[in-house]
Structure 1
Amino acid sequence: MNSTSHSTSHPTVLVTGGTSGMGLATARLLLATGARVVITGRDDARLFRAAEDLAAAEERLLTVRADVTVPADLARLADTVRERYGKLDGVFANAGVAGFQPVQEVGEADFARILDTNLKGVFLTVQYALPLLEAAGGGSVVLNASWTPHRGLPGAAAYAASKAGVLSLARTLGAELAGRGIRVNSVSPGYVVTEMFHAAVPDPADHEPIRAQVPLGRLGRAEDVAEAVAFLLSERSGYITGQDLVIDGGLVPAFPSLTG
């Protein structure tokens, strides 16, 4: 990773939901490339385990307990980063929750919980990070969306709706913040084997038919997403903003069908 902005050879990057899965893999990769990384999570024990996992770069790692749906937590997070580093060069707004039910079974509380974290939490993360990005003279923001709004997945009405909102946020904020030197893009992972995937598909026997849908012939790894996020955070993607990068092994067709 070259840099997330024009400020320093050791960029400072915030990764929300950094205690497992794609967030943890991204934190690990960023640390390996010399960045200073701030990870958040809602649970102290999980933050401690993540810090142990990333101990090789402990001097460049900061862990902060924060719930992205709680403005007071994000204000405290921003204050902590400001006191330690003074700025942020990049943000991976990754924290999210899943929920898969037939539409008639989705309760109001279920819908609100998913939208609260996956959409409002992403919006608030960017909002509270803005002054820190501006303090760096600009930077890059990556929002974690999903393949589900691109193709449609039965049983994912609330989840896909929340992620469609994230796609719209990336496009809108990419346009709005460009004049401030801040790029905003999103990634749309496909079937990536994480704790969330195993919770949604607990029976290994069900993994094979899912894998069979993927043209590249395998399920995704958290590291596949981390590589894409690191690229979008870096100056190598300096002319890209308001875009979505689908990381799904070909699950979502790149072009509309020409057969009707």
Structure 2
Amino acid sequence: MNEADHPQGAIIITGAAGGMGKPAALRMADRARPLILSDVSAEKLEVLASDLRAQGARVATLTGDIADARFPERLVELLEGQSISALIHTAGLSPTMGDGQRILDVNYFGTERLLDGLAARMAPGGCAVLISSISGYMITQPTMIAAVRAMVHEDRRDAVAAYTQTPQMAYPISKLGVMLLVAREANRFGAKGARIVSIAPGYIDTEMGRAEASASEQMRAMMERVSLGRMGAGDEIAAVAEFLCTRAASYVTGCDIKVDGGAIAELGL
């Protein structure tokens, strides 16, 4: 893919020092577009930014928590009037990283605020890529699905309160919420000539993924049923995100794309 495949404007990557964000940053750094990289770890973020700058990339950084109400505003300030050609939003928490309310705040409500803050700055032809999870497909109870829909479409956090007391339940609810949010936002992004898509990773060999596998016997058992017989790599998610942010994916919007090695297909969901 060459520079002409990408619209003009800055590229924003959240969770940029993480297992999916870092390979996304490495891939997008050669697009000859300004990069704005964000992460909660200032140290890891600066190491990445320094490496990319040494390769000639233009990089600005923001250390911050996606759940902070001012986070989107701080990103907009770093744009300095530029539009956004690509947003790759990988920041998020897994079940071992917080309680139910914290996970919901970061994974869903933080993402919703991010889109509210950045949607108007999207460039024509630009794309926002969010990270959902195959766990969202594992919610099959109609009353639970209805509760998540009420959260997304009616702004009713109370609708999911009974289901988010544990991080193990809050996580898939937050990720189903991301999928529904993408569908909800497709028209708003389309009005700008931009697109929005989510990627549902399966079992990915990142620090976060390994921690979850270590903590969950059920997850380890499910990993053995993956059609391709292995965990995925962070760069395999980044590669799909990169493709979605090019003109080659210009008619893909408002949907979720499974990148899971066949895990959901094997489960029959």
Report the TM range for the smaller structure's normalisation.
0.7 to 0.9
User: Against the structure 1 CA distance between its residues 157 and 36, is the aligned structure 2 distance closer, same or farther, given a 3 Å change threshold?
Assistant: same
**Match for residue 106 of structure 1?**
none
Q: Is the 8 A contact 1:93 1:126 kept in 2?
A: no
Distance 2:267 2:209 in 1: 27
User: Against the structure 1 CA distance between its residues 3 and 113, is the aligned structure 2 distance closer, same or farther, given a 3 Å change threshold?
Assistant: farther
Q: How many residues align?
A: 244
**Match for residue 15 of structure 1?**
13
**Match for residue 140 of structure 1?**
127
**Match for residue 64 of structure 1?**
62
1:8-34 residue CA offsets vs partner (Å, 9 max, x unmatched): 3xx521011111110111111111344
Give 1:202 shift: 3.5
1:213 aligns to 2:225 (yes or no): yes
Consecutive unaligned residues in structure 2, runs of 5 or more: 141-165
User: Against the structure 1 CA distance between its residues 2 and 171, is the aligned structure 2 distance closer, same or farther, given a 3 Å change threshold?
Assistant: farther
Determine helix, strand or coil for the equivalent of 1:90.
strand
User: Which of 65, 87, 90 pairs up with 1:91?
Assistant: 87
Give 1:42 shift: 1.8
Determine helix, strand or coil for the equivalent of 1:253.
helix
Q: Is the 8 A contact 1:82 1:132 kept in 2?
A: no
User: Which of 239, 245, 259 pairs up with 2:257?
Assistant: 245
The code of the aligned residue for 2:127 comes to S
Q: Is the 8 A contact 1:3 1:233 kept in 2?
A: no
Give 1:56 shift: 4.2
Give 1:182 shift: 1.6
1:150 aligns to 2:162 (yes or no): no
1:128-149 residue CA offsets vs partner (Å, 9 max, x unmatched): 112321xx33511111100001
Determine helix, strand or coil for the equivalent of 1:38.
strand
Determine helix, strand or coil for the equivalent of 1:59.
coil
Q: Is the 8 A contact 1:93 1:144 kept in 2?
A: yes
Consecutive unaligned residues in structure 1, runs of 5 or more: 102-108
**Match for residue 126 of structure 1?**
115
**Match for residue 236 of structure 1?**
248
Q: Is the 8 A contact 2:89 2:129 kept in 1?
A: yes
User: Against the structure 1 CA distance between its residues 3 and 200, is the aligned structure 2 distance closer, same or farther, given a 3 Å change threshold?
Assistant: same
**Match for residue 30 of structure 2?**
32
User: Against the structure 1 CA distance between its residues 79 and 28, is the aligned structure 2 distance closer, same or farther, given a 3 Å change threshold?
Assistant: same
User: Against the structure 1 CA distance between its residues 50 and 207, is the aligned structure 2 distance closer, same or farther, given a 3 Å change threshold?
Assistant: farther
The TM-score, its normalising length taken from structure 1, stands at 0.83
The TM-score, its normalising length taken from structure 2, stands at 0.80
Give 1:47 shift: 1.3
